[in-house]
Amino acid sequence: MKTLIKNGTVVNATGTAQADVLIDGETIAAVLAPGSTLLGFDLEGHVDTVIDAAGKYVIPGGIDAHTHMELPFGGTAASDTFETGTRAAAWGGTTSIIDFAVQTTGQRIETGLETWHQKAAGNCAIDYGFHQIIGGVDEFSLKAMESLVDEGITSYKLFMAYPGVFYSDDAQILRAMQKAADLGLMTMMHAENGPAIDVLAEQLVAQGKTDPYYHGIARAWQMEEEATHRAIMLANLTGAPLYVVHVSAKQAVAQVAWARDQGQNVFGETCPQYLYLSLEDQLGATSDEWGAFEGSKWVCSTPLRSREEGHQSSMWQALRTNDLQMVSTDHCPFCMKGQKELGAGDFRAIPNGIGSIEHRMDLMYQGVVTGEITLARWVELTSTTPARMFGLYGKKGVIQPGADGDVVVYDPNGHTSIGLGEGRSHHMNMDYSAWEGYEIDGHVDTVISRGTVVVDAGEYLGTKGHGSFLKRGLSQYLV
């Protein structure tokens, strides 16, 4: 199967160029001057499919490096399976995900990882890799870390939050980081002071403050700043590279920036919800059906932050200045019915998470429209840096000969209406959209995954099982 994408503007992290892209089989074979005949050879007459991308951007497929399909949480599980979640990702121009395999306390890492392989294998529409959640750092998990690189899993996540569930204390973090420094693994950190948050949450509930809004009050920015600093210092001591996930507080960004200015290998991601949504929005949300519990739609951790305090603008700035390097979704969807509603009357029981996998490319493109970021930076934040950060670059994250044929044709003059209703763009397995009513300048027209067209002209053409497991190398972002 040969596909020629002609007349488009190719956007890589390095900039833009008018070029045609030839995909042969699963691989980009050539990036050519527009209309090139290759030494007199008529290309168009020798390919199976020609896609005219005139007036459109031709970009490397999005890489969402932080997703949680089927994550067990709070007595329920994230509502997207690998099948439904990767299909929704494809709809939105994402052609690879890195999900989190889970090891819970007392379980062996090997068992948790095997479970995740079983959940994903044969079900994905697009390629997928895993990070390893280590929910119980003990002698067995420290030993098992030694095999992760061979498994193609070169990053793992620890939690300074959620005591009794995924939580690691400082001694466990120190031991894991020492091991990671030896092995070259990237430590990903959920940086919030969980034990202190639990006290604050208990006090709020005792005062009758049980609405979803108080989730964000309990998870105060001081809790994120303090944990981010502690993680940085432990990483500094051990020499382990550190990647702080879902950064939402401007004070946490300042910690990441401070460490980077000292030359430490510290990186950070933020997520669309921390760029667009706010604690004020959550407080103001009420509906006939749910009343103030409507705010549970946006309960996630780290929480939404106050717009008045300037967290959102600080995130955009950090993305421009490279204090933050990437945007992932932290896709962790739950339905209102039967899932979020478990926390009606006590915000502590609301499953934490927002579903956005389908909208990340569109939402981040709005940053180009409003002038917050450049076109090249859009691609860098959503595809190229995720590839480099997590050992996929060259194969993924760039339009160049030899790379996988993961390509998106994006129409800057198109329009996308996000939400559940008729003519709107929601394919995630959720009974609501955290982004209902968002109107997007731009549209994902065509999505190609390893040479196969999976979405085109508003039609899903992909297949369950097309997606392959990505054995990742070590981070290519480290000096």
Positions in the binding site for Zn ion (CB under 5 A) = 190, 330
Pick out residues in 33-92 that bind ligand URP (CB under 6 A). Answer: 68
Shortest distance, CB of residue 400 to ligand URP, whole angstroms? Answer: 32
Cα→Cα distances 244→4, 30, 180, 316, 391, Å: 39, 36, 15, 16, 17
Binding-site residue total for ligand URP (CB under 6 A)? 9
301 is an interface residue for ligand URP by CB under 6 A: yes
Q: How far is the CB of 276 from Zn ion (least distance, A)?
A: 18
Position 225 contacts ligand URP (CB under 6 A): no
Q: How far is the CB of 358 from ligand URP (least distance, A)?
A: 17
300 binds ligand URP (CB under 6 A): yes
- Rounded to a whole number of angstroms, the minimum distance from the CB of residue 66 to Zn ion is 5
The verdict on 330 binding ligand URP (CB under 6 A) reads: yes
Of residues 364-383, those binding ligand URP (CB under 6 A): none
Residue with tokens 């996630």: 300
Given the complex with ligand URP, which of 17 and 349 has the nearer CB atom? Answer: 349
Of residues 332 and 430, the one with the C-beta less far from ligand URP = 332
Residue nearest to Zn ion (CB): 190
Minimum CB–partner distance for residue 71 and ligand URP (Å) = 6
Nearer to ligand URP (CB atom), residue 160 or residue 234:
160
Q: Of 60 and 268, which has the nearer Cβ to ligand URP?
A: 268
Q: Which is nearer to ligand URP, 296 or 301 (CB)?
A: 301
Among 131, 179, 190, 377, binds ligand URP (CB under 6 A): 190
Residue 352 within binding range of ligand URP, rule CB under 6 A: yes
Binding residue for ligand URP, selected from 120, 177, 318, 332, defined by CB under 6 A = 332
Minimum distance, C-beta of residue 212 to ligand URP, in the bound complex (Å)? 12
Residue 360 is a binding residue for ligand URP (CB under 6 A): no
Binding partner of residue 427 among ligand URP, Zn ion, none, CB cut-off 5 to 8 Å per kind: none
24 burial level (CB within 10 Å; 0-12, 13-18, 19+)? middle
Neighbours of 269 (CB within 10 A): 26
Nearer to Zn ion, 57 or 390 (CB): 390
Q: What are phi and psi of 147, to 5 degrees?
A: -95, -10
Identity of the residue, 357 or 454, whose beta carbon is nearer to ligand URP in the bound complex: 357
Binding site partner of 260, from ligand URP, Zn ion, none, Cβ cut-off 5-8 A by kind: none
Residue list 94-133, contact with ligand URP (CB under 6 A): none
CB of 361 to ligand URP, least distance (A): 20
Contact partner, 300, from ligand URP, Zn ion, none, Cβ < 5-8 Å per class:
ligand URP
Name the site residues for ligand URP (rule: CB under 6 A).
68, 190, 246, 300-301, 330, 332, 352-353
